[in-house]
Structure 1
Amino acid sequence: MLKSFIGGTLLIAAGLVYAQTTAPPSAVPPRLAPEQQESIRKAVGSPVRSISNVMRDAGRNPEQTLAFFAVEPQHTVIEIWPGAGWYTEILAPLLREEGRYIAAHFDPNSPVEFFRTSLAQYQEKLADDPEVYDRVELQVLNYDPDTPIAPPGSADRVLTFRNVHNWLSQGREETAVVFAKMYAALKPGGLLGLVEHRARIGTDLETMIRSGYVTEELVIELAQEAGFELLSRSPVNQNPQDTTQHPEGVWTLPPTLRLGDGNRAQYLAIGESDRMTLLFSKPE
């Protein structure tokens, strides 16, 4: 059964109170049929997944997350900035036979070396296993408003995992461009599924960019400015052990563990970050 909650919620963690932004639902969130949920379960259990990625399921909850986003095998799904392909290992098999999977990755002409290197590694991953990834469609997500990620109104779902802080580091206008592109790509009635590290309410923008944690209030504001309506929230990726107050921001925690051996056991015990899991709709 899908878990979701609408409206205000208090999450008490390590003596801190996290107050979620209250927003009424725009409609009843979709629920998957048992056979569709089983398709997601099989994709999560796919043997093509690397052991290192499977070991992170406890922190990322892919089966519950994709079910909450109501991803169906016949959908056209765009994943924004898939990175090394953690979700690609699940989405490509899930969508391969009946659906369409578009990976809107980094710009190959980006001045950021990390982006170019990550894209090249992702392309190698796809090439190394054509029986699984030969139907993955690679597109570009950059901040040029004239470069779409897909034909307008073509996608059933757009998904993005832990990327909003990266866009904000480039500027509010650049972030707005990304949300506008996601909105444009979706069909009327299509859904945007978004996961992001969650900052405490009242956190300022500079701290968000520095720490990697973003407030739900800002994410919802950005989505609504693009035309989206908030449909639902899920607690599936929340982590009450995460205070969000770390020397190197979210990168202090696993999997990055930027402090190395410094307090390593403490940060491993906390686990991956506390995250919002939001579902938005494009009005019909």
Structure 2
Amino acid sequence: MMLKHGLAAFAVAGMGGLLVAGTTPLGAQAVAKRTDPAMMAAIAAPERSAANRARDKYRHPAQTLAFFGVTPGQTVVEFQPGGGWYTEILAPMLSARGHYIGLTGQKGQEGLTKLLAGGGTRYKGATAAALDVAAGTSTVPDGSVDTVLTFRNVHNLIMQGGQAAPNAFKAFHRMLKPGGTLGVVDHRLPEGMDSAAEMKSGYLKRSTIVKLAQDAGFRLAGESKVNANPRDTHAWPDGVWTLPPTLRLGDTDRARYVAIGESDRMTLRFVKAK
């Protein structure tokens, strides 16, 4: 399939199966074959917190990581791991044959070090790295990484303003090997809505992320609807933080927001040209 005007063929993943560009829909058994046993073991591990497990129905870790092509032998960078929701899966999964690298700004290094130390032997081999968004540089060696993942972080870069977002994407591009993957999940703002919302709501337009990636030298290779939520109308009093898990409005309309669930998210896979 030919690409035109920056748009790529769709790869759609859902509860009923996975549709990859140029193929017919795959059934549940075929989807399962795309997930590595080490990944499934990490997701099912009893060490995962109950709070994190409760969010699997919104974050779909097995389908998402399979879509991004993550395997246990890779070197994987996770940008801004935060509280470690995906770290709890990725670090154990990569501990035997791969390498997990958590990447934060300089101010986040202390928290990241504590996060990785808290995983004990389950996080064996996991390391921390720093990103300077002002300079667009990182401590990750150029051309050394198979996959870079960022989950619900690009909107923070956008809200920083300036060159934070472009510089971060350029740094991702440099650290990846030729043919490496950049996987992005973020809150989706419909293209017809006011772009000004990107600076305060936590939602981003697909076109904004695609342009950032393409300007940095990436090619859009596919996208998935696995993390989409059609119940999300994208226009809330306190932006995306109105919805779970933050529920910033407290008890105000709490039952309504809990029923909607977590935000509508886009899942985009980019590739560094060989």
Give the TM interval when normalised to the shorter protein. Answer: 0.7 to 0.9
Aligned residues: 257
- The amino acid that maps onto 1:23 is L
Q: 1:146 to 1:195 in 2, by over 3 A?
A: closer
Q: Does the aligned pair in 1 maintain the 2:136–2:167 contact within 8 Å?
A: no
Q: Counterpart of 2:225?
A: 235
User: Hey, what's the Cα distance between the residues in 1 that align with 2:54 and 2:31?
Assistant: 26
Q: How does 1:1-284 map to 2 (within 5 A)?
A: 23-25=7-9, 34=33, 36-108=35-107, 116=108, 120-145=110-135, 147-284=137-274
Q: Does the aligned pair in 2 maintain the 1:81–1:141 contact within 8 Å?
A: no
User: Hey, what's the Cα distance between the residues in 2 that align with 1:160 and 1:78?
Assistant: 9
Q: Does the aligned pair in 2 maintain the 1:127–1:134 contact within 8 Å?
A: no
What SS does the corresponding residue of 1:269 show, helix, strand or coil? Answer: helix
| 1:28-77 Cα distance to aligned partner (Å, 9 max, x none) | 87x99938532221111122211111111011000100000010100000
Q: 1:36 to 1:239 in 2, by over 3 A?
A: closer
What SS does the corresponding residue of 2:115 show, helix, strand or coil? Answer: helix
Q: Does the aligned pair in 2 maintain the 1:36–1:73 contact within 8 Å?
A: no
Long gaps (5+) in structure 2: 12-19, 22-29
Q: Does the aligned pair in 1 maintain the 2:10–2:224 contact within 8 Å?
A: no
What SS does the corresponding residue of 2:73 show, helix, strand or coil? Answer: coil
Q: 1:249 to 1:146 in 2, by over 3 A?
A: closer
The root-mean-square deviation of aligned C-alpha atoms, in Å, is 2.5
How far the C-alpha of 1:204 sits from its partner, in A, is 3.7
Q: Does the aligned pair in 1 maintain the 2:147–2:183 contact within 8 Å?
A: yes
Long gaps (5+) in structure 1: 1-5, 8-20, 109-115
Provide runs of 4+ in structure 1 moved above 2 Å: 24-29, 31-39, 119-129, 144-147, 202-206
What SS does the corresponding residue of 1:279 show, helix, strand or coil? Answer: strand
Q: Does the aligned pair in 1 maintain the 2:136–2:168 contact within 8 Å?
A: no
User: What is the percentage of aligned positions where both structures have the same residue?
Assistant: 46
Q: Does the aligned pair in 1 maintain the 2:6–2:220 contact within 8 Å?
A: no
